[in-house]
Chain A
């Protein structure tokens, strides 16, 4: 159990460092992404707009979202492990408190 806790803490630490370093890097880079949907809706003619409405959010290949969401990948996995870790500890306590002593 102790070794599993050590491993878990290692992962949590790695994910934290990863998530916060990406977040720090992102905050130093100015926002340059272009809102494709706004440009498309302004420029499209009335006829083209009906066809384009379905695909307005399909923006084609672009890496700005990818870099932004790497942070959420770190935070999301960190969040899940933290919640599960807490649930694990609480469950062990529950088992210890409620088990029948022989």
Chain B
């Protein structure tokens, strides 16, 4: 009996909270595989949640590999910044550069971040409220960097909320858009005029944007700088192999480490609390008000314009790329099979990526 206890005594350390975390991990894995919801992150996060919630798990603790990875890449914000290089290399700013006024919708669609900041501060202290609000950036690396820089206690819940809602954009956005627009507005056509963007513009844009954003919000230099560096590698035309490596190998490698390491924050005693449920709710509020902010801004602009814009493109300003753009395009086609909004929606979607990083920098400026 003593021998059995010595061999398997750790089983007695199991408690109900760990089992609940296994179920949560299983749900995330199910959503990733069966529903194809952000599988690149939900699957490692789900599996990692199971790993760290086994009794006396060797994956965490002082010398555990997940703890080592966490200290090496999350605690110092390195992994999400390196991932941003890959993301920057994937982005084509062409549709945005050919129609720069679309950037305004990207800016407007960050309203949900600041609205959620106010709502979250009803329940949390400022640094946690700000970290929760940045879920509205709809951008994993930005959320991780800001939450880590502000030393939030709820990084695990914030990450799960951010990536889950990014995957749920096709479900969250349509009802909000329909509530705020009329059928007639959704049917507004926006003919796309192809304007050539010079290679010089595409090369200078990331450099100039980094300087401008960095002067206004110095805390955003790392975020915007790494994103634009990746884009510069893509656009310069002389670093094709580096661009391909950044887009594929680097992005995939860092995503693997990031996903499983974030789970180090999903230990049952930290994750299972009323605060987690509240954070999930506030994350949803952030996404809803991001969508509402973009759509309402478009409607406001239409008051001044002779040639009206389809207000749905405002909703594409959420940084969830390319899903938000596709959602708007599909909704437009549903209302009118001849209404093609893909290019405009993609331009707005890309501008949302820029605006969300600037918003992250603003949040760090205010609360860092």
Contact = CB atoms under 8 A, between A and B. Distances in A.
Interface string A2-37: 011011100100000000000000000000000001
Interface string B52-77: 00000000000000000000000000
B301 interface: yes
Given A79-B217, A87-B212, A65 B362 contact: no
- The dominant DSSP class at the A interface is helix
Contacts of B106: 84
Interface in A12-70: 37, 54-55, 57-63, 65-66, 68-70
Interface string A60-94: 11110110111011011101111111111011101
Given A57-B125, A69-B129, A73-B117, A80 B110 contact: yes
Given A80-B358, A86-B212, A6 B107 contact: no
Contacts of B354: 84, 87
Contacts of B110: 76-77, 80
Interface of B is mostly: helix
Contacts of B127: 57
Contact of B117 (A57, A72, A82): A72
A40 B161 CA distance: 28
A102 B208 CA distance: 27
Contacts of A60: 123
Contacts of B126: 65, 68-69
15 contacts: A11-B297, A37-B125, A58-B275, A58-B278, A69-B117, A69-B129, A79-B217, A79-B358, A80-B362, A84-B355, A86-B212, A90-B212, A95-B195, A95-B198, A100-B196
Interface of A: 1, 3-4, 6-8, 11, 37, 54-55, 57-63, 65-66, 68-70, 72-73, 75-77, 79-88, 90-92, 94-95, 98-100
